[in-house]
Amino acid sequence: MEKISFPAKLENLEAMIDFIIAFAQNKKFPDDKLNQIRLACEEVLVNVINYAYPGSPGEVEIVCSEAGGKGVIIEVMDSGIPFNPLEKEPPDISQPIERRKIGGLGIFLAKKVMDELSYERKENKNSLRLVKYA
């Protein structure tokens, strides 16, 4: 298991993702799946950076661990306002482009590319758990 924490700021996004990708690379994920992990993690982390701490600074914690030798579990935690992004209404992707809403697409994509994505409120923290199998 490896963990790290960063101030929840956009300028740290790349370092957060690099940390996760380095962990996944050691588990021998093919490039296309690494790209999917990158996408899902970016979307989840950007959500925390943008919405978890309105008007005040805060931290995002990332914990990477093995999923029974067959994949990775990535946990993203914040101590911000309680919020389950998975409950948000998914975007209607059948709408014509003129009427497409801009929000909600990120979490929708994260759900699509990961094998599991779940939310838990624990110890006063929001915890999103992403699982991808190699």
Partner 1 sequence: MESKFSIELSGNIAKLTLVGRLDATNAAVFQEELKKISGQQVTKVVFFAKDLEYIASAGLRVMIFAKQKLCQDAQVYLVGAQEAVLNVVKMSGLDTFMAIQDTFQE
Q: Give contact residues for partner 1 (rule: CB under 8 A).
A: 10, 13-14, 32, 35, 38-39, 42-43, 46, 49, 93-94, 96-98, 100, 102, 105-106, 108-109, 112-113
- Shortest reach from residue 15's CB to partner 1, in Å: 11
Q: Compare residues 38 and 129 and give the one whose CB is closer to partner 1.
A: 38
Q: How many CA atoms lie within 13 A of 84 on its CB side?
A: 9
- Shortest reach from residue 93's CB to partner 1, in Å: 3
Q: Compare residues 73 and 105 and give the one whose CB is closer to partner 1.
A: 105
**Residue closest to 108 by CA, chosen among 39, 60, 54:** 39
| Nearest-angstrom CA–CA distance, 22 and 80 | 27
